[in-house]
Amino acid sequence: MNYKNELIKRYRAILKYIGTILSILGIVLLIPLLNLLNNPEENYLIVSFLIPSVISLFIGLILYFFIGKSSEEITLKLKEGGIIVVCSWIMTIIISALPFIIGINMDLTQSIFESVSGWTTTGLSVVNVEKTPQIILLWRSIMQFFGGAGLAVIALSSILPLQGMGLYLAEGREDKLLPHVKNSTKMIMKIYAGYTLLGILLYKIAGMTLFDSINHAMAALSTGGFSTKANSIGSWNSSSIYLITILLMFLGTINFSTHFILLKGKFNIFRKNAEIKLMFYLLIIFTPLTVLISKSNSLITIPNILKVQFFQLVSALSTTGFSTISTGRMSIVLFFIVILLMLIGGGTGSTAGGIKQYRIFIILKSIYWEIKSQFQGKYQIKENFIYKGEEKIYIKDKNVTKIANYIILYLTTYFAGVLIFISNGYSLKNSLFEFGSALGTVGLSTGITSSGTPNIILWTEIFGMFLGRLEFLIIIFAFVKILKDQKYLLTK
């Protein structure tokens, strides 16, 4: 009975946290309405945001003040943080789909798809951006901006208490920038907002309108990739805009703890970081390779290398999904290298998706360490380490095993999704690309994803995007814990 009472207290606290996040969502839903000041002809869409905002605030305040009213401030464990994250994300996605349903009459599946794509910072889309109202386009970018930071980070940096380490970890944030979680999340939001403002300014100087600058700065830094143009960044055909986008994509894919040491001027530690080294090696190897095996020698000019090869590789590796050319114009080598980089993805604790560069670096290093160990003396002490943020991380066999298990789970999910695509009539080549883009939360597309895509494919991509953003194990931990706790909570 005591254990049951303890569980009840902990679930009350969990619901209180969920209520806080939904209350914040209710306020976020009102932000797109600011665009009506410059675009009053879209006033008819006010209700499309007011209704979901009221719903979110109502549910959030009920959970916070009534159900969670008597809860104590407790220290959350990782699995409890997982329950909060998974439940909050599911409810956020459903509520965030309402502006698409109410405002532009999209069906439920397509609206959920667009919402998931936004919050997971994927960028795959089923809307016609040329015919979609500006306020809806802005909402898509806002979802990516806040989704990139993460619901837990936003909540912890605002009003949630310090006992939120489990929630922080459940969002995939392993590195604390400062001693306290709350201070770390505040620092993340300051860095994130500062870079976004810089992006808006640079885009405006480069010739974008203010509306386009705001949308693309949020989408690039969040590694989201939603655009206000049908041809994405390629619509501008501007080297300066390509360079600004590349800069923002780089910033978005770097771990926030690595940003912190960069901003503190510790350049020597910055360049030693595992993910920075891997990202540099991948781009330095694959850029000239794709140039040399290009479809046309006419593409071998500095502007075209920037626009075609380098831009697409950075977009794929950062899991942003902006494009300057269609996939049909990619050489076959570039096409499959892009798939590889989409699966690798960005930095851990960044806004990017994919398997993550940290895990790939450890696996590659472990192969090197294994070979090296065969030529070392029997009694020589091994101390295998890498740099992550400001820390020197010593890698044990259990760390490698854990990472290998994750990669196997990720690739198994990937090939299962590809099989669903193939069974619905799509080619192997396009299926590998499209589901790799969804699972890696990238957003590049071969054209499979559109308003006419069958629902079974959209739902396959929805589950892929969701699993890819929340990294599998947290979802599994959350559901297993809920099922295990039910037998105690339902007993008299």
Residue 12: predicted pLDDT: 85
Within a 13 Å sphere around the CA of 131, how many CA atoms are in the beta-carbon half? Answer: 5
If one counts every other C-beta atom within 10 angstroms of the C-beta of residue 39, the result is 14
DSSP string, 32-97: GGGGGGT-GGGGGGHHHHHHHHHHHHHHHHIIIIIISTT----PPPHHHHHHHHHHHHHHHHHHHT
- Average pLDDT of the residues in 233-242: 91
Q: Give residues with Cβ within 8 angstroms of 193, minimum separation 6.
A: none
CB 97 within 8 A of CB 114: yes
Residue 178: predicted pLDDT: 44
Each residue of 210-232: pLDDT tens digit? Answer: 999 999 999 999 999 999 999 99
| % of the chain exceeding 70 in pLDDT | 87
Burial (0-12, 13-18, 19+ Cβ within 10 Å), 379: exposed
CB 21 within 8 A of CB 96: no
Q: Give residues with Cβ within 8 angstroms of 13, minimum separation 6.
A: 68, 71, 72, 73, 74, 76, 80
Q: Give the 3-state secondary structure of residue 262.
A: helix
Gap between the Cα atoms of 411 and 382, Å rounded: 30
Residue 139: pLDDT band by 50, 70, 90 thresholds? very high
- Rounded-to-10 torsion of CA 190, 444, 284, 302: -100
Each residue of 448-473: pLDDT tens digit? Answer: 999 999 999 999 999 999 999 887 77
**147, pLDDT greater than 80:** yes
Hey, what amino acid is at 70? S
- Average pLDDT of the residues in 443-449: 94
Residue 80: predicted pLDDT: 80
- Two tokens, residue 18: 């969920």
Q: Give the 3-state secondary structure of residue 388.
A: strand
Within a 13 Å sphere around the CA of 294, how many CA atoms are in the beta-carbon half? Answer: 15
- Two tokens, residue 222: 């969040």
Q: Give, in order, the Cα–Cα distances in Å from 323 to each of 31, 202, 231, 319, 356.
A: 27, 19, 8, 11, 21
Q: Give residues with Cβ within 8 angstroms of 462, minimum separation 6.
A: 112, 113, 116
Each residue of 15-72: pLDDT tens digit? Answer: 888 998 899 999 999 999 999 999 999 999 999 999 999 999 999 999 988 776 655 5
Q: Give, in order, the Cα–Cα distances in Å from 58 to each of 16, 22, 50, 53.
A: 13, 9, 12, 8
Gap between the Cα atoms of 303 and 305, Å rounded: 6
- Phi-psi sector, 105: left (phi>0), alpha (psi -120 to 50), beta: left
Mean pLDDT, the chain, integer: 86
What is the residue extent of each domain of the chain?
A: 267-486
Each residue of 406-440: pLDDT tens digit? Answer: 999 999 999 999 999 999 999 999 999 999 999 99
Each residue of 276-320: pLDDT tens digit? Answer: 899 999 999 998 888 877 655 555 666 677 777 889 999 999 999
Residue 353: pLDDT band by 50, 70, 90 thresholds? confident
Each residue of 170-196: pLDDT tens digit? Answer: 555 555 544 456 667 777 788 888 999
Backbone angles phi, psi at 228, to 5 degrees: -95, 0
CA 53 from centroid of its chain's CA atoms: 23
Q: Give, in order, the Cα–Cα distances in Å from 473 to each of 47, 85, 398.
A: 38, 12, 16
Residue 206: predicted pLDDT: 96
Least confident of 122-131, 309-318, 477-486: 477-486
